[in-house]
């Protein structure tokens, strides 16, 4: 196997599965070089349906240069309604052209504002708001700028088709790693914060977030992070941290205002952060362990496209859009020696998927060699499932996740453009890293 970029290795992605040299280049030179369209499954009634029964107006928005949260705030401000009335199924990046659904409780079509950088299409009404579960996946159209060896794309595709293991057709397959952005593209530390939390060390978690200077940051920021690591002088650190680091400053305020800094104070400092960021820390720790499990499975030469004895598989979501392989981790089965052959046939046809754990309090680990890998990674991290029994937003029961993601892919050469679809929760950059083989910053 070909070793991955060192920054990727630091978050558990040890290698590439394709040996061919990458095409090089970078993504997102322009917003329209990174196009994302949601693949949704949501029941919509005609726009003239009675608002009493269907109070949510549903619209499709194509956004350029808009973060999903910011656009939702812009809509609610223009309509003069609470931000809580605006819902969506998936959060999208600002530096892209994205097409996705929004629902707005109590809105009428003629009330919608004109928004710069947004095209709005009213689709109808719904009896409930959009939720995360309504997103099945995303379709991507990505342009590679300044590739150095675009001719290598075909050979990489052939290798990824072989890894995907489909008997018929030409679907590529890649390990379903969590991409670099899960951990921070320029400062990958969220998993380090999460690991300290899961180990019960709130002080260590705070210092992992406030400290850990990286070369990607301005020198003054690096110096401020080094200062707080070395001195624990919270008041002076507050003077040194720039105003733009509002989360760090919020934590420092909590510490600087305390009469006595104790373990509870460090927890209070962390709980000053938005609840979604608090959850992200623990999720990133789970994601890091998951990536390590996949890397070890690759190292041992175990298959990704079919099970071995001891694996846990899940089955396909039968309501998925045509052509999209969507795992349903609520439907699981352990693979015994007697069932390896029959489950393999389901995997070959896209009806079942081998999984690995996102470890939490209710996680049941695999058996055989897959279970051995899972336990070895947890031992290395000094974790057990019970460690995730944490207070508040930090608690996690865990789940499982498919270890392989497969998709059909189209290549266009002028400019080099890759088009493909992925199930929700899978990362386009995990596909693109196999093609470009560059510093992950150039993928973000």
Contact 106, 85 (CB under 8 A): yes
77: how many CB neighbours lie within 10 A of its CB?
11
Q: Which two tokens stand for residue 430?
A: 């995990």
d(CA 364, CA 385): 9
DSSP calls for 362-426:
T-----HHHHHHHHHHHHHHT--GGGG--SGGG----EEEESEEEE-EEEEETTEEEEEEEETT-
Contact 348, 165 (CB under 8 A): yes
Q: What's the Cα-to-Cα distance from 306 to each of 239, 368, 393, rounded to whole Å?
A: 56, 15, 35
**Which residue is catalytic, options 31, 32, 93, 158?**
93
d(CA 119, CA 132): 22
Q: What's the Cα-to-Cα distance from 266 to each of 102, 161, 188, 253, 261, rounded to whole Å?
A: 38, 48, 21, 11, 7
Q: Where are the alpha helices (DSSP H) in 57-100?
A: 68-79
Question: In this structure, what is the dihedral angle of CA atoms 25, 4, 352, 181, given to the nearest 10 degrees?
Answer: -60
d(CA 162, CA 156): 10
Q: What's the Cα-to-Cα distance from 348 to each of 298, 326, 344, rounded to whole Å?
A: 19, 14, 6
For residue 179, give the DSSP letter: P
Q: In the annotation, is 93 catalytic? A: yes
Give me the residue label for tokens 């914060």. Answer: 193
Contact 102, 61 (CB under 8 A): yes
- Measured between its terminal Cα atoms, the distance across the chain in Å is 24
Q: What's the Cα-to-Cα distance from 324 to each of 179, 316, 436, rounded to whole Å?
A: 20, 10, 24
Give catalytic residue positions: 93
């Amino acid at each position: 196997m070909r070793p991955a970029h060192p920054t990727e290795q630091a978050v558990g992605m040890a290698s590439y599965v394709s040996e061919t040299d990458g095409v090089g280049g970078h993504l997102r030179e322009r917003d329209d070089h990174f196009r994302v369209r949601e693949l949704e499954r949501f029941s919509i009634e005609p726009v003239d349906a009675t608002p009493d029964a269907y109070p949510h107006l549903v619209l499709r928005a194509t956004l350029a240069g808009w973060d999903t949260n910011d656009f939702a705030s812009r809509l609610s401000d223009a309509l003069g309604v609470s931000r809580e009335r605006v819902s969506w199924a998936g959060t999208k990046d600002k530096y892209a052209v994205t097409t996705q659904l929004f629902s707005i409780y109590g809105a009428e079509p003629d009330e919608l504002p004109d928004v710069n950088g947004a095209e709005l299409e009213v689709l109808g009404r719904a009896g409930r708001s959009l939720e995360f579960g309504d997103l099945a996946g995303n379709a991507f159209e990505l342009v590679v700028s300044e590739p150095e060896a675009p001719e290598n794309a075909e050979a990489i595709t052939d290798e990824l088709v072989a890894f995907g293991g489909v008997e018929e057709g030409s679907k590529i397959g890649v390990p379903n790693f969590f991409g670099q952005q899960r951990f921070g593209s320029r400062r990958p530390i969220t998993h380090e914060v999460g690991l300290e939390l899961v180990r019960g060390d709130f002080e260590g978690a705070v210092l992992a977030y406030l400290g850990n200077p990286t070369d990607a940051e301005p020198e003054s920021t690096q110096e401020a992070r080094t200062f707080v690591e070395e001195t624990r002088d919270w008041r002076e650190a507050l003077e040194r941290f720039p105003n733009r680091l509002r989360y760090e400053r919020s934590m420092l305020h909590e510490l600087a205002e305390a009469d006595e800094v104790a373990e509870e104070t460090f927890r209070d400092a962390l709980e000053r952060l938005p609840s979604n960021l608090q959850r992200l820390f623990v999720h990133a720790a789970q994601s890091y362990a998951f990536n390590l499990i996949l890397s070890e499975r690759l190292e041992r030469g175990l298959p990704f496209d079919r099970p071995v004895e001891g694996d846990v598989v899940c089955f396909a979501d039968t309501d998925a859009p045509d052509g999209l392989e969507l795992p349903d981790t609520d439907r699981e089965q352990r693979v015994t020696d007697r069932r390896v052959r029959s489950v393999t046939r389901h995997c070959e046809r896209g009806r079942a998927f081998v999984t690995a754990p996102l470890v939490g309090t209710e996680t049941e680990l695999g058996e055989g060699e897959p279970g051995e890998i899972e336990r070895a990674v947890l031992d290395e991290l000094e974790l057990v499932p019970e460690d995730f029994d944490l207070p508040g937003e930090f608690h996690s029961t865990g789940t499982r996740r498919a270890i392989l993601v497969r998709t059909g892919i189209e290549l266009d050469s002028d400019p080099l453009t890759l088009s493909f679809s992925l199930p929700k929760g899978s990362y386009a950059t995990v596909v693109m890293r196999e093609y470009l083989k560059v510093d992950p910053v150039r993928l973000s």
